[in-house]
Chains A and B, each alone.
Chain A
């Protein structure tokens, strides 16, 4: 899973502290339930303050679908919702656990300063 740089900064978000790993953000958004593209962008913005550009979002969806971590659902009008697969949930859990360890260790170091 890789991060890309095409994450548009939300206007009211803090100057620093943006997290920009679009595939992980998409997985985290879908962990709440199936969503289509527009709903994912809104949800991710609420979740972490980063607004994914539409191209970045669909790039991430394409990669995640290739890997079998998300699955398309039947379209509603011209919008197609996606849902996270069990394999995607495993990946999300593993990634977030790693991030949690990393964050805990990093914050502990900051406490010493």
Chain B
């Protein structure tokens, strides 16, 4: 595998995992003849390690920073979904204006999916992290709520 791709793939793992296994794992990836399915396997495994790291209670909760919480998938994925939904709204306005369309269309369905699917992620994140680091988690939830409202506002006020 290309050493740069190997390095990039190792960076997908949580920091603690990288510190322990990063060097040898990168060596394994770089020394192997590239199999097309390997990068997919590594990406899925990195996601799994991140989920496992998210489940684990940090040893020192006072050391958990806002930055560390906001980098958790449960924190940034809903925000990314809201912002993507907002981008869809702006793109729709740019192409079709603010006049209501007879047919909802793909953009509307995509917007609805993005806004709906983030809710369970948000709930799981809140349930998992509020008891562990309430202040930082509330900050992240406020950001998620702001992103959610920002995406909802043009649809609501412009009656799209």
Per-position contact with B for A26-43: 1 when CB-CB < 8 Å, else 0? 000000000011100100
Per the bound structure, the CA–CA distance linking A41 and B38 in Å amounts to: 12
Contact across chains for B49 and A6 when beta carbons are under 8 A apart: no
A54-B32 in contact given A8-B41, A78-B23, A78-B24 (Cβ < 8 Å): yes
Contact across chains for B24 and A54 when beta carbons are under 8 A apart: no
B31 at the interface (CB under 8 A from A): yes
**Residue numbers in B under 8 Å from A58 (CB-CB):** 21, 25, 28, 45
The size of the chain B interface, using a CB distance under 8 A, is: 23
A8-B37 in contact given A54-B29, A55-B44, A58-B45 (Cβ < 8 Å): yes
**Residue numbers in A under 8 Å from B27 (CB-CB):** 77-79
Interface residues of B in 20-50 (CB under 8 A from A): 20-21, 23-29, 31-32, 35, 37-38, 41-46, 48-49
Per the bound structure, the CA–CA distance linking A17 and B29 in Å amounts to: 27
Contact across chains for B37 and A53 when beta carbons are under 8 A apart: yes
Residue of B nearest to A80 (CB): B24
Per-position contact with A for B85-113: 1 when CB-CB < 8 Å, else 0? 00000000000000000000000000000
A71 at the interface (CB under 8 A from B): no
B8 at the interface (CB under 8 A from A): no
Per the bound structure, the CA–CA distance linking A77 and B20 in Å amounts to: 16
Per the bound structure, the CA–CA distance linking A57 and B20 in Å amounts to: 15
Residues of chain A whose beta carbon lies under 8 Å from any beta carbon of chain B: 4, 6, 8, 36-38, 41, 53-59, 61-62, 75, 77-80
Residues of chain B whose beta carbon lies under 8 Å from any beta carbon of chain A: 17, 20-21, 23-29, 31-32, 35, 37-38, 41-46, 48-49
